[in-house]
Structures are given as structure tokens and as C-alpha cells.
Amino acid sequence: MACGKVSISPSIFSNLASSNSENIPRTGFLFGIRRPNSCQIIGCKVFRDGSLKNMCHDYTATFNIIPGGLDICGVFFKTGESAVKPIVAKKFEKFIPEIEKIKGLEDSASILVLALENRDLEKSTLYDYNFESQDLTKVDYNVGESNSLLKLRVRGTLSTGFEVPAENDKLFSNIHAEITALKNSVEGEACAYHLNNSRIILHNNYAENIPENGLSANTSCSQLTSHINASGDDVTQKKKQKSTTNDVIDFNLLLQMTGEVALSSTVTCAPVIHHEHRQYKFSRISLPIDALAYVYQDDPVEVVPNALTSALTSQLLSMLCCIMNHSKNSAFPVPRPHHMLPPYLSHFLTVVYPDNVDDDSLESERRSLQHQFLLPLNKPLLRPRNAFKFSGDFVSDYLINTHVGLKTSVPGGKQFVVQGDYEYHHYMQDRMDDNGWGCAYRSLQTLISWFKLQGYTEKLIPTHKQIQQILVDIGDKPLKLVGSKEWIGSMEVSYVLQNYLDVNSKILFVSTGAELASKARELAEHFLTQGTPIMAGGGVLAQTILGVDWNEDTGDLKYLILDPHYTGGEDLKVIQDKGWCGWKGQEFWDQNTYYNLCMPQLPDVI
């Protein structure tokens, strides 16, 4: 079967390139969506130990973390200096016996083989290996992201219970049996998916969907959004909503509990009552289902139940592993899924962690996953706090990322801006009248919010009084500071960051505001390598710098400023239109006042 048009996400090549310097074996799986006439490869995963001996286990483990609807499309490996067909064929021979052991993969007509080019990864050679002819055919591909994928999300609750025997072997066998029974229920005809805010219910038995929902055989996945209405009623042609293909399409999980379909998995015989009088422990766990799947916008709707069911069954297996790995003394954790979208990937990962377990206890799991998906090993990217915030999920009393949407006009300039999310903290928030003295405190709170939202800490944003108490506790200030309206500066901000978050800071000093322009390269380098907001203190004022727009040739420079002196409400339009968050020229700074810039440095954690 010809693979048709093939597209590969550029993030795959960039991650492989960055991993090359870290001595990570570049051998693993390619995954994406494959159709008869096209293939979109959106991600890759290296084999856990860099070898082929656990290829079958790696294959199963991959599905437990990537969204449903995705398939293993191929493998990749490094060939050396040349990727010509004879060399690739010889290298690929080692894969064939392992591929034949993998249930599902050997049923494919062919598999893609990406032979990595050492010097320029985007010039790597792609082949299609046909299992029947046992031959490699060179395939053209383009490098780019797909805008034609839809994200589907299904949520619900499933309950499972099991006897807790004294022997661990029997315990794990009981848990496995119950999760397997749930998995079989989800895969059966008793499972259905309700499209949120609509009357659409999609069954695993797709033949029921067309007459029940008024769908046609030609209905595409993207057209599902036209049936969504906030009231839950059918959407008429006059009130049809616009497609929101860039957002997730939400479904609720339904399981039919009565009728022939619900009883199809039971033994059809007269009731038998078995009574056994004994004492035993029994445990019941509610499983919070939250799974993602991908489909093409123009796929027929009939692929939706299959994609969601695939995501659900994989998540149940992940929950099984989580319960088994983290149960202690007959205490069983609630396995909770977290959807991650690290900035280095073009696809989601869903990680199941036990509730009420601290980050340090899960470090080895995170390190292993970040290694396998070629993510940096010095940043917290897969902690529970790193979970992606879908529309409606995130609730905050503060505005997030107030700079988004602002434009600057430095001719030929290049922007270097804060990486990640932050909260806008300013005067008069939190029922605190700090007008005229609290700007540095507010800037510090914005800096701490950045570390919190990036998953570096679970600590709360400290109040003014708590900040003052920290400075007293470390011996920097006298006790009379606590509860006062005394200003603090950049040095005090750095002390609090170090004491409260264990974050070190670099202090950049300039004798006048005019001299700040000469530090453009250092500021650009900071936002490129560290990505944290900067607190700038000068005279009696403090500002937060979120980025620079700099033309290296002409020296033209603008600063992205978040001003903590704002006293109004959380109105983004006012804040941007009035310049409380905006791009400022060199004239913004007092040309005769010295400034200290507190530049937080990233801790080396995972």
C-alpha cells in the first residue's frame, strides 16, 4: 500500500538535534495519523534503553501516553554517514524480527523508516517498507505542522472494586481482572459518547449513530461543532455556530447499564446464588477518566468513537500501572490523568499520576518520560502543575499573559520575550492598598507567579507582610519592617526569591537609565536562555520587563514593560490601550537614575 503524501512535524527534527549533544540514542518510534492516501507524523519516542530488545514493551507503553487516534507509523534510526538504500536495508533487518512480535504492527501493509542524516536532520531519508515484498521504497515528505487535526476530549467516572487478599500476587491479579473488565465494557456496544451541549450521542456501534442523530454518512468530524449549542438544544440553520476547530471538542462518557447490550458480556443462564461467609477486605476506587484523541477535520464521524475508545482503553491501562506501582499497605491511590503540552512538542502527552503524592517521589518517572520524548532534563515539564489549561479549566483572580496581542514597531528588530505564563500583579489587588509604595512587592509577586505556573513550585504567592517577614528572618531587615509601608528594591527581591523558592538571580547594574540601552544583548540573551520576567528597580519605582525588541545592526530597542503601578480593575483592554502593559522606548527610563535589574535564573530541576 502506498503511503501517499507524508508530512513530518519540525519539532521531531529539532528535538532530535538537541538530543544529539546529550548522547541520547536516536532509535525509536514515529507516531501520527495514517490514512490510505496520507500520513501526518507528529511525534517520536526513543526506545527506553536505546536498544531493540524491549521494542514490544515500548510499543505498548507509547499508546498509554499519546492521544487516541494516533498510530505507530514507523521507526527512525541513525545510519552513520550515508542513508542510501543498501545501508538502510541492512540496518533495518535488525528491526524486522522485533516488529513481527508486535501484535497490530505486523498487520500493517507497510511501515515508514526514517534514516537520520547526521549533519542536517531535515535532509534525512524516508523509506516505506512493504511487509509482503520485503522491499524499501524511497518516499518524499515535507516538513511542517498540520492545521487539519481536531482534538477530542472525553471525561467521565468509572468505578472499580476488588478484594484485597494478604498475598500481593493475588491482589495485583484481582486489580488487573477488574480493570480488564472495565476495558472490555468500554470497548463494547454499551459504551457511548455524548457531545457536550448537544443531542448527539455516538455509539461504538456506529450503525446506530446515523439514524439517531440525523447524521449522514458524509458528515465530517469538523461538522460536529455545528451541532453544539450552549443550551444543549439542537442548533438550527439560523443559529448554527461557527466551527471552533482550534479548540477541543468535549464529550461525556456514557455506559448503558440496562438492556440486552449491557448484559451482552454476562453469561446467559438462570441466576445462581453463591453464598460464602468469611471476612475479607474490599477496596473501591473511582477512576476520573479524562482522555484525548486526534482525528482529521475531514474524517467521517464514524472514526470518533474508535479514536475515543482507543484513548480510554489506553488510559485504563495507565491507571492500572499507576495503582499497582503506588499502592502501599492496602492503601490504593486515585490515579489522575494530566494532559501535558510541552513547548518542545506538537502533540499532547497524557500522564497518569497518583493523587496526594509529592513531586519528589515522581521524579524518576518524569525523568524517564522526558528522556523518551526527547525533552530537556533540566526543566519541570511533566509535573501535575504543568498540565495544559483548556478553555474553561483555568480559574485565576489575576490576568494571565497580558502582553499577548501587543505589537511593536522596531524596524528589522527581533523579539526576545518571556517564555511561559505569568500573572499580572499590581497596586490595590488582594484588598491591599499599597498605592505609592508596593510596586516592587507586586513585581516580585509576578516573578514568583511565573515559577509557580511553570511548575517549579507549589507555594502560594506571598503577601506583602510575608515578603517582609522573609527579609526579617534572613537578617536583611529589622523587625519593624513587618507591617510597614517601606519600599524594597531589586536586591531584596533577589533575597526573597533565593529564600522562598531557592532561585538564584543575576543582578545587572546600570548607572543611568540611558546606559540600559547598552545592555540589550544581555537582556536578549536572558530571555532566550532563561525566559523569566525581570524586575527593574530604579529610584523609588519598580517595573517588570517581559522582553525586548532589538535591531542588532541599528541598535534600535524597545522594552516590553508590565507596570505594577496600575490601580484599576482586571480589564485587559484598558491595560493594553493605556500602556500599563506595552512596548516602551528608551525615553521610558529616567535618564539620570541608576537601575538594578533582578534577573532570576532557572534552577536545574525536573
71, 194, 565, 590: the catalytic one is 565
Name the nearest CA neighbour of 67 among 290, 303, 322: 290
439, 556, 581, 598: the catalytic one is 439
425, 563, 581, 598: the catalytic one is 563
The grid coordinates listed for 398 are: 489575576
Q: At what angle do helices 303-326 and 168-187 cross, to 10 degrees?
A: 170
563 as an active site residue: the answer is: yes
Enumerate residues 6+ apart whose C-beta is below 8 A from 564: 425, 426, 427, 438, 439, 440, 442, 443, 446, 542, 543, 544
Enumerate residues 6+ apart whose C-beta is below 8 A from 442: 425, 426, 427, 429, 434, 542, 564
- DSSP for 164-190, please give it: E-SSHHHHHHHHHHHHHHHHHHHHSTT
Enumerate residues 6+ apart whose C-beta is below 8 A from 573: none
- DSSP for 474-490, please give it: TTSS-GGGTTS-----H
Write the DSSP symbol of residue 215. -
Q: Collapsing DSSP states into helix, strand and coil, what is residue 354?
A: strand
Q: 3-state SS of 25-41?
A: CCCEEEEEEEECCEEEE
- DSSP for 288-332, please give it: EEEEEEEEETTSBTTHHHHHHHHHHHHHHHHHHHHHHHH-BTTB-
Q: What are the residue numbers of the active site? A: 439, 563, 565
